[in-house]
Structure 1
Amino acid sequence: MARRARSGPPNPRQNGCVTDFDPASYLPDDLLERFRTRAATHDRENTFPDADLAELKAAGYLAILAPADMGGGGLGLAEASVLQQRLAGAAPATALAVNMHLVWTGVAKVLADRGIDALRFVHEGAVAGEVFAFGISEAGNDLVLFGSDTDAAPRPDGSYAFTGTKIFTSLAPVWTQLGMHGLDTTSADAPKLVYGFVPRGDAVVTRDDWDTLGMRGTQSRTTELRGAVAPADRVVRRVDPGPNPDPIVFGIFSVFELLLASVYTGIARRALDLGVETAGRRRSKKTGKAYSQDPDIRWRIAEMALAYDALPPELAALSRDVDGLVNHGPRWFSLLAGVKHRAVTTAKRVVDEAMLVAGGSSYFSANELSRLYRDVLAGLFHPSDPESAHSTVATAWLGPVED
């Protein structure tokens, strides 16, 4: 099994506690600057950031959530959240693409922390260089984790053949294992939602259809499954459709929402930094002073900072609670949906304000703020979308809607 090079960042986790965690040791400034420079090219040319992924692999980044005794980073979600914020500030599409791999390694961690070793192969694979993609989204399927239009057909040897179409499959050009769900309607105990992992092969067809407004570097293409087989030892869970307390549902929802919110929080921070930088650089012809002295600009910067400052502490607290096995009971899903919703809507508001601070130059496509403006819009479409988030939170506070 491959192990991270000794030159990689130190393992900060000792006896379950984080000591001397330094995000810059995992993502140094010079590395991020290279990513930022490339991000403009990938956005313009609609290409995947292969060089970014290669450097992240070399740094052991894809295995940050794998246990240290397997050769991984031994980090928790709290540290991964900080790192994803930092990465997104340089290259949002790279961060979002890598996020989908980290979701599966995070789910493996959540399950292992709760005594379920079914996804150990995910951590082993991440350390060995495998790239895991996230195949849950389906067109028109607003049930998301609670249902699937993909057929999961059981086979005599315990494997499953998946047939259907998944959308928004990030890392499309490079993934080696696709984690997904499908619906088994033929077994004696059917229906069951089946979670499994299929390798890349002839039964998986990736469409070259990713031409979007923003987040272009993720290359989140449509994936057609034509009887793609998940071996028996890669069929990790069979659960009842609908809302389900199974740990894999909690694991996916918690890690997905927290790391997704981290990406958009990182975008908000970068927009705030660019706003501050621009305000200090631009000068008013009217007063001769820097825009940082203009009361209206100062108000906008303050609005941006007030909104942004609430996000990192909430992400840190909820991530630590997942790491620490804190039981929020039925409140968990509303808390997780809430932090994702706040992160993406706040990030959009901060980018909007930064555009106004920067002025008309930010409207040109080559301007970094223009790219952030387009990238941040993607956040509204990830689960939980605004409607789902509000429904989840309303149910938590008011109870279910009466029949």
Structure 2
Amino acid sequence: MAGPEDALLDDDLLARFRERAAVYDRENRFFDEDLAELVAIGYPRVLVPLEHGGFGWSLEDAVRAQARLASAAPATALAINMHLVWTGVAKVLADRGDDALAFLQREAGAGELFAFGISEAGNDLMLFGSRSTAAPDGDGGYRFSGRKIFTSLSPAWTRLGTMGLDSESADAPKIVYGFVERTDAVEVLDDWDTMGMRASQSRTTILTEAPASADRIVRRLDPGPNPDPFVFGIFACFELLLAAVYSGIGDRAIELAIAAAKRRTSMKAGGAPLSDDPDIRHRIAGAIIDQDAIAPQLTSLARDVDRQVDHGAKWFARLSAMKVRSTETAKRTVDEAVRVAGGSSYFAGNELGRLYRDVLAGVFHPSDDESAHSTVAAAWMGAVGAVD
């Protein structure tokens, strides 16, 4: 059944994106033309409420859309994902009666572009700790200093959601979350020259006392695991929208594998297409069986977030498992597709070769395989050493 994403991201638009994706990758440049088209159709506003000029989509709608977009342009989808994460968090909070990010919905509806400035090198605590600092400014606001990595949308964002550790206040330590604007206190390095996902231009960002006024400080939380709805919103939207991107890569790999099998022929089989070869059919079918399970799980979890289903202590485990399952399945699917397509996929410029490089980025996004397994084990079996 067609959804709103099929009409907004029509086939002609995706064809243009797919053609440009090869150029962006080859030239290692930002997806300016894609972004202009996405803005023109209102895509950054899909999760913004109708009353603020948005489309009022559900998270489930956005997940489907991101998978569709990633099937044409993975790096474009990955980068715009970070804006959608913040508008998704705002929706999660608003649905639960929390208006802390009402300003974000208004500004996103007015055309501001939000980026995700959370990740830090060597910080395996993720949302539960920070190497950056948040210094109180005396008026309820903060000045953030630190080095953030993998900041997608670097050439284009106008607002940056970030975090740092307040070690100065009377109730310190506190993890402080706030939003800063693009000022001289923010330096974006031109250091993105990677194996894949090149168009995302997820550059390093250095904050030097970057100011966030009191009305842009959205949370002050104790370090460590926290059930706060804001933390849940970030985790849920980040993991599900990220999983959607890699799901889309896997879907496209299946399409390319089938096309290659029908195109290639076997001299041993008298010129018959490889799609008639039982071993090739088995290989593609196995990839389809694995890949076909991802979308229903992904949309089901997104629907549960929308409907505020209570998974209790297992929510974080299910979300992190979904991310790992999607990225690892996509990696296997692309690998199988490359084997079916043969040596042509090893040449620069081949779409499957690019997907092979792009999909690898999935292992670097949180939650990684180790933390996901730890989270799942704790949710089902309790902490190490715990007894009933």
Normalised by the size of structure 2, how large is the TM-score? 0.98
Does residue 312 (structure 1) correspond to residue 324 (structure 2)? The answer is no
Amino acid at match of 2:286: E
**1:333 corresponds to which residue?**
316
Does residue 356 (structure 1) correspond to residue 339 (structure 2)? The answer is yes
| SS of the residue 1:320 aligns to | helix
Tell me the distance in 1 between the aligned counterparts of 2:8 and 2:36. Answer: 14
TM-superposed deviation, 1:53: 0.5
Tell me the distance in 2 between the aligned counterparts of 1:380 and 1:112. Answer: 31
**1:39 corresponds to which residue?**
21
Does residue 180 (structure 1) correspond to residue 180 (structure 2)? The answer is no
Residue deviations 1:12-31 (CA, integer Å, cap 9, x gap): xxxxxxx9733221101111
**1:252 corresponds to which residue?**
234
Tell me the distance in 2 between the aligned counterparts of 1:22 and 1:207. Answer: 37
**1:57 corresponds to which residue?**
39
TM-superposed deviation, 1:401: 1.5
**2:325 corresponds to which residue?**
342
TM-superposed deviation, 1:176: 0.3
Amino acid at match of 2:306: D
Which sections of structure 1, spanning at least 5 residues, go unmatched?
1-18
Does residue 369 (structure 1) correspond to residue 326 (structure 2)? The answer is no
Coordinate RMSD, CA, aligned? 1.0
Amino acid at match of 2:360: L
Could you tell me which of 259, 284, 309 is aligned with 1:301? 284
Residues 4-403 of structure 1 mapped to structure 2, 5 A cutoff: 21-287=3-269, 288-402=271-385
TM-superposed deviation, 1:241: 0.6
Amino acid at match of 1:359: G
Query: Are the counterparts in 1 of residues 101 and 218 from structure 2 also a CA contact under 8 Å?
Result: yes
| SS of the residue 2:150 aligns to | strand
Tell me the distance in 2 between the aligned counterparts of 1:32 and 1:223. Answer: 30
Tell me the distance in 1 between the aligned counterparts of 2:5 and 2:144. Answer: 39
Tell me the distance in 2 between the aligned counterparts of 1:121 and 1:94. Answer: 26
Amino acid at match of 1:310: A
Amino acid at match of 2:330: A
Amino acid at match of 2:16: R
Tell me the distance in 2 between the aligned counterparts of 1:23 and 1:35. Answer: 15
| SS of the residue 1:307 aligns to | helix
Tell me the distance in 1 between the aligned counterparts of 2:381 and 2:240. Answer: 24
Tell me the distance in 2 between the aligned counterparts of 1:265 and 1:396. Answer: 25
Residue deviations 1:250-276 (CA, integer Å, cap 9, x gap): 000000000000000000000000001
Amino acid at match of 1:233: D
Tell me the distance in 1 between the aligned counterparts of 2:66 and 2:190. Answer: 27
| SS of the residue 1:101 aligns to | helix
| SS of the residue 2:305 aligns to | helix
| SS of the residue 1:243 aligns to | coil
Tell me the distance in 2 between the aligned counterparts of 1:397 and 1:381. Answer: 25
TM-superposed deviation, 1:195: 0.5
Residue deviations 1:62-118 (CA, integer Å, cap 9, x gap): 010011122101001100000000000000000000000000000000000011001
Residue deviations 1:33-83 (CA, integer Å, cap 9, x gap): 111111001101110001101100110100100111221010011000000
Normalised by the size of structure 1, how large is the TM-score? 0.94
User: What is the percentage of aligned positions where both structures have the same residue?
Assistant: 64
**1:4 corresponds to which residue?**
none
TM-superposed deviation, 1:158: 1.0
Pairs aligned (count): 385
Amino acid at match of 1:395: A
Amino acid at match of 2:128: F
